[in-house]
Amino acid sequence: VKSIDESLGQIMDRLKAKGLAENTIVFFYSDNGGVERTGFTSNNPLRSEKTHGYEGGTRVPLIVWGPGIVANGTCKVPVTGPDFFPTLLDLAGISLEAVENASINNFSKEKLDGVSLVPLLKGDTSAFHRENDPESSADDGAIFWHVPHYKHSAPYSAVIRDKHKYMRYWEDHDNLQNRRETEDGYFMSENELYDLTSNTGESADENLYNSDPALAKDLENILFNWLRSVDAKMPTAVKFKTSTNPSVSK
């Protein structure tokens, strides 16, 4: 943290010395939560760590500085990395139509992920709107992520809408409970639903999946519709064959 603070300070000093500070936007962002299994960091009171879908692995610092941005302001609206591209275009005064016309990779503004965060950066949360599926308002404001592979965590998908977060693990309950890695001791079941306002730490004792089945089904449908809309790649079972060659270790 000390090193990052010093290096960012050098960048800011350089921008000011070159007269570029009034024409530059700085994003300070972390790609994931801290790694607790090394013993060097703690994400308390958030649950879990890097590579996991719980808040300790996904809720990270984001600071934006620059002209036209509210100074010393704070915002609790959830945002995500794909929002940066449309935000930077908006701040630079570049239209999506201009990007579409200049694209050599068939970029289409209709398929753009993310929304501009400029209203939030200016302190106007009422002007901010996130629309996912134009044919339905059910998933308005929702953000998604999908991890179809193993990296300490079992494969999972998740959605946050308003204050609620639904997670779906793509292993069944018994497999999740019997995973051998010590850092995977966070798992409870293949379906988890949390109220992030009252249960920021995602306590397993307050999993709402069974106690609020209507909300769980609503968020599950929203998540599954999104997975289909982006043609998400799903994890597949691996079948191991026993070798008949005695020289090959089993």
pLDDT digits (tens, 9 = 90+) for 5-16: 999 999 999 999
- Residue 83 to residue 74: CA distance in whole angstroms: 17
pLDDT digits (tens, 9 = 90+) for 92-149: 999 999 999 998 888 888 878 899 999 999 999 999 999 988 888 999 999 999 999 8
Which of 31-40, 95-104, 194-203, 237-246: highest mean pLDDT? 194-203
Which pair of structure tokens corresponds to residue 228? 């289909």
Predicted confidence at residue 245, as pLDDT, reads: 54
Predicted confidence at residue 248, as pLDDT, reads: 46
**pLDDT over 80 at 231, yes or no:** yes
State the chain's mean pLDDT as an integer.
88
**pLDDT over 50 at 184, yes or no:** no
Q: How far is CA 17 from CA 5, 8, 10, 12, 67, in A?
A: 18, 14, 10, 9, 16
Q: Are strands 143-147 and 156-161 parallel, antiparallel or unpaired?
A: antiparallel
- Residue 114 to residue 143: CA distance in whole angstroms: 9
Binning pLDDT at 50, 70 and 90, where does residue 180 land? low
Q: Which helix (H) or strand (E) holds 90?
A: helix 84-92
Contact between 24 and 44 under an 8 Å Cβ cutoff? The reply is no
Which of 35-39, 104-108, 122-126, 218-222: highest mean pLDDT? 218-222
**pLDDT over 70 at 243, yes or no:** no
pLDDT digits (tens, 9 = 90+) for 151-160: 778 899 999 9
Eight-class DSSP state of 121: H
Percent of the chain having pLDDT more than 90? 60
